[in-house]
Amino acid sequence: MRMSIWRNLREPFDEKLPRRTAVIVKEDDWSLPFAYPCDFGGIGWNLDNRDETTYDEAPAAVMRFADYSFPDLSGRNLARNTFYFGRMEYYPGVVEREIVFSNIGIEAQELFARAPRGGWVWQILLESRNMSCYPLGRTLCTVVSLSRRATIRRRDGVAECRIGDRTLYLSFDCDECGVYETSEECAEAMGRDRVGNRRGEGRHLVIAYRVRFDGPGERRSIALGASFHSAGRAIAARRARDARGAAERRWNAWFERLPVPRLTDERALRAYYKSWWTVRLNYYRHPKCGRSVLEALPVYRGFWQWALPAMEWHGSPNPEIGPSFVRRVLDLFLRHQRADGYVTHAIYLDEDPPGSRWGERNIVQTPHVPWVALRYYNLTRDIRSLRAWYPRLVRYHEYLSASRDRNFLDLHLWAIIASYDTGLDTTPAFQRVTYGEDGARERFCYPAIFAAERCRYERAMALMARHLGLDDEAERWRREAALTREAMDRVLWDRRRSWYGVVHEDGSLDTRIGVDGLFPFAYGLADPGRARAARRNFERLLAPLGVHTVAPGEPGYVAETYWRGPAWTKSCSLAMSAASRYWPDLKERVLDGLVNFLLRYPSVWECMDARTGKVARGDAGLMATPVVSSNVGAGEAIGALRLYAGEDVFGFGDDAERPLQPTPARP
């Protein structure tokens, strides 16, 4: 019998889940709405359908089952139910939980899933634990609480809840239901065991089920269907049969179409498919870009410039997305280029015009665009797109060279005006340019990441010009790249510390062993002599749960704060590339840390303590987010695993898809 990849991805979880959005079930593949568990003090689900980017968890609706029952043991009062979850398991598109009530003789099996035709099906199978000498009769209610006062129409077993400009459709078969303005009104009605009314506006919908069991083992099934799409979809969801089996068949059919890298380790292969699962959770049918993958559904609803490599790594080989997605997103960024050549850092779904939010601050993020464009071209030979992008990329290079170099120290490198330019937002060596450090604040600094990126940009432009038949321009770009690499080695290489550092506005070189100085090695720009000298520093970054962003013991190292030390899958992909090129005997250690990272919790997280696995926080205290699709999550992990298997995902030449040929730098 063929193994079910879907079953193999089972993720047990408990109430200590760092963020509940680590467990999400989408209404369908291509829309935004998703559900995640409500507070673990209740049995229920939060429904989110926003399109704006925000860290706040602010669901449009919260559905909770059986917070109370009527009557209590006295037969007269409303009882607050107590319970605990037994088994809790998460699969692609399905969550199953065991519920054990302690104040009433009921245990339950819960299934929450995407229904076969879309929408959510919520099924709760109740089973009696009372002996026949004590028949059990209770009223159990599902309470749906809306984010704002809504118009609620009820007909034919469907409630249409108009919340602002959107409608939530709920399908149920109950004994009574009513609409209330406050939770106190809900409790009062449940305490009278009469929840039915004819109100048409309010914030709470109460759905009552009168349950009677005459003996142990008797069962009753309760089902609810929900959808932000249509009443018909909600009805079909409630009536769905075998939603679990349908999810298994649907997901397995997709998994089996994906390319399989040469991974012999079973845990690594599981981590690979788990990363793809996260990618699919971020599907969205964009009105201009068509079938797309968003940055990170629970938080970042849009596209990011620094995510472009990972987007290509998981987009091009994806049978449901394909390389045309890469073209459409590159078009989206370059079409909205400013007159001065600036290309925005990020484009959010709720922006008009696209890219305007970050454009006001002139933040660019790491300009991967040309070499990602070349990877797309190598797969498609779409010379028309290359011809359209080339002049825009020439203008972008000129903008960066003027605004990030000639206006400053003119080093033939690129500076940053804030750490956000790089995506390495809180790296300690960049703190002075963003927040200030020890009383010092600067306008700019020159990091290794931008030196490496400038060299790659110019190498990619040389190859692009050659494909376009512009031989003189190709030669000019090659000369520019050579000058950039020479400047990087001369200005940023620290002989004493054997690592690439950061040049501050005052001209001083600040070298801290971390991910910034790793970029020249990841891109294959360092010569073997420097690689030999840097090996010991590289090993300092390797940890049981990934690759440190800053090595322990370095100035500014903080184990549990974003880019100040924790592991990210982005740091793992860079380390895997560097090890593949210079230290192939260390690839196994990078792989082991990456796989441990990916399998630590349900979903793929931004970052965590590389030694303990504790989920990291940002400088302002916000905990890192799960279900991050591309820039720091699943896409980077897929790229790192492909690198381990011998494919140079950082390559962009004609031979980019051939296996890596490492240049070992022995100790």
Confidence of residue 660 (pLDDT cuts 50, 70, 90): low
Please give the average per-residue pLDDT across 637-644, as a whole number. 96
19-31 confidence digits (pLDDT tens) = 999 999 999 999 9
Peptide bond just before 71 cis, omega within 30 deg: yes
* 417 and 268 in a common domain: yes
Q: Which residues contact 448 (CB under 8 A, 6 or more apart)?
A: 488, 492, 500, 501, 502, 516, 517, 519, 520
Range of the domain at 98: 5-248
Calculate what percentage of the chain has a pLDDT beyond 70: 97
Q: Is residue 663 part of a domain?
A: no
Give me the CATH number covering residue 286.
1.50.10.10
Whether the per-residue pLDDT at 107 is higher than 80: the answer is: yes
67-87 confidence digits (pLDDT tens) = 999 999 888 999 999 999 999
At 254, which amino acid appears?
W
Tell me how far CA of residue 535 lies from CA of 54, 214, 654, in angstroms: 40, 72, 30
Question: How many whole angstroms from its chain centre is CA 529?
Answer: 38
Please give the average per-residue pLDDT across 105-112, as a whole number. 97
Q: Say how far apart CA 324 and CA 321 lie, in whole Å.
A: 7
Q: Is residue 299 part of a domain?
A: yes
Listed residues 215, 248, 281: the one ending a domain: 248
Q: Tokens standing for 577?
A: 């590339």
Q: Which residues contact 552 (CB under 8 A, 6 or more apart)?
A: 540, 559, 565
Q: Is residue 302 part of a domain?
A: yes
| Confidence (pLDDT) at 667 | 35
Q: Is residue 347 part of a domain?
A: yes
278-335 confidence digits (pLDDT tens) = 999 999 998 878 899 988 888 888 888 989 999 999 999 999 999 999 999 999 999 9
* 279 and 155 in a common domain: no
Listed residues 248, 270, 287: the one ending a domain: 248
Q: Say how far apart CA 456 and CA 576 lie, in whole Å.
A: 18
* 268 and 344 in a common domain: yes
* 274 and 197 in a common domain: no
* 244 and 285 in a common domain: no
Confidence of residue 632 (pLDDT cuts 50, 70, 90): low
Q: What is the sign, positive or negative, of the torsion defined by CA atoms of 169, 629, 603, 616? A: negative
Residue-averaged pLDDT of the chain = 93
Confidence of residue 376 (pLDDT cuts 50, 70, 90): very high
Whether 435 and 444 have beta carbons less than 8 Å apart is answered as no
Hey, how many other C-beta atoms are within 10 angstroms of the C-beta on 388? 15
| Confidence (pLDDT) at 629 | 54
What total number of domains does the chain contain?
A: 2
Torsion of CA 657, 661, 665, 667, to 10 degrees: 100
| Confidence (pLDDT) at 87 | 96
Listed residues 248, 272, 287: the one ending a domain: 248
Q: Tokens standing for 40?
A: 């673990």
Q: Is residue 211 part of a domain?
A: yes
Q: Tokens standing for 59?
A: 């669901």
Q: Say how far apart CA 562 and CA 426 lie, in whole Å.
A: 7
Confidence of residue 659 (pLDDT cuts 50, 70, 90): very low
Helix (H) or strand (E) run with residue 542 in it: strand 542-543
Q: What share of the chain is helix, strand, coil (3-state, %, to 5)?
A: 35, 25, 40
Helix (H) or strand (E) run with residue 286 in it: strand 283-286
Whether the per-residue pLDDT at 223 is higher than 60: the answer is: yes
SS3 call for 84? strand
* 210 and 271 in a common domain: no
Confidence of residue 50 (pLDDT cuts 50, 70, 90): confident
Tell me how far CA of residue 448 lies from CA of 21, 424, 506, in angstroms: 35, 12, 17
Whether 582 and 2 have beta carbons less than 8 Å apart is answered as no
* 622 and 490 in a common domain: yes
- How many residues belong to the chain? 667
| Confidence (pLDDT) at 545 | 98
* 262 and 228 in a common domain: no
Please give the average per-residue pLDDT across 90-111, as a whole number. 97
Which of 52-66, 96-110, 350-364, 505-519 comes out lowest in average pLDDT? 350-364
Closest residue by Cα to residue 652 from 368, 398, 389: 368
Tell me how far CA of residue 550 lies from CA of 105, 515, 579, 580, 597, in angstroms: 54, 6, 17, 20, 17
* 323 and 222 in a common domain: no
SS3 call for 370? helix
| Confidence (pLDDT) at 355 | 77
* 311 and 216 in a common domain: no
* 45 and 94 in a common domain: yes
Q: Is residue 655 part of a domain?
A: no
Q: Is residue 428 part of a domain?
A: yes
227-272 confidence digits (pLDDT tens) = 999 999 999 999 999 999 999 999 999 999 999 999 999 999 999 9
Whether the per-residue pLDDT at 94 is higher than 50: the answer is: yes
Closest residue by Cα to residue 450 from 407, 409, 415, 497: 415
* 277 and 199 in a common domain: no
Exposure string over 181-204, b if 16+ CB within 10 A, otherwise e: eeeebbbebbbeeebeeeeeebbb
Give me the CATH number covering residue 202.
2.70.98
Closest residue by Cα to residue 66 from 23, 20, 113, 99: 99
Q: Is residue 656 part of a domain?
A: no
Q: Say how far apart CA 177 and CA 326 lie, in whole Å.
A: 49
Whether 638 and 312 have beta carbons less than 8 Å apart is answered as no
DSSP for 472-507 reads HHHHHHHHHHHHHHHHIIIIIEETTTTEE-EEETTS
